Amino acid sequence: MDPQRAREIVDFPIMVNVTYDGQPIYIQHIDEYNQTATVFPIDQPHNEVNVSLEQLDEDDKQIHKYS
């Protein structure tokens, strides 16, 4: 994923469907310098991991509103 697009998703007022390794995730933080993101599975907010931005996929067909 492009670092600028990752930043846009983090700042977007509605939740965009992004996956890591096929699992829906929430992007907690972007490190543009290192091209990484701190993410966690939507259903497991306590399981944060740092991953390469290249490993994130966006499904722009599915957008979910924040609850």
Predicted local confidence at residue 60, as pLDDT: 65
Dihedral of the alpha carbons of 61, 64, 30, 25, in degrees to the nearest 10: -90
Predicted local confidence at residue 53, as pLDDT: 97
Owning domain of residue 53: 3-64
DSSP state, 54? G
Question: What CATH number is given to the structural domain containing 30?
Answer: 2.30.30
Predicted local confidence at residue 13, as pLDDT: 80
pLDDT tens series, the chain, 67 aa = 989 999 898 888 888 899 999 999 999 999 999 999 999 999 999 999 999 999 999 986 554 444 4
For the record, the structure tokens of 4 come out as: 């600028």
Predicted local confidence at residue 55, as pLDDT: 97
Kindly report the number of other CB atoms within 10 A of residue 28's CB atom. Answer: 14
Q: What's the structural domain count of the chain?
A: 1
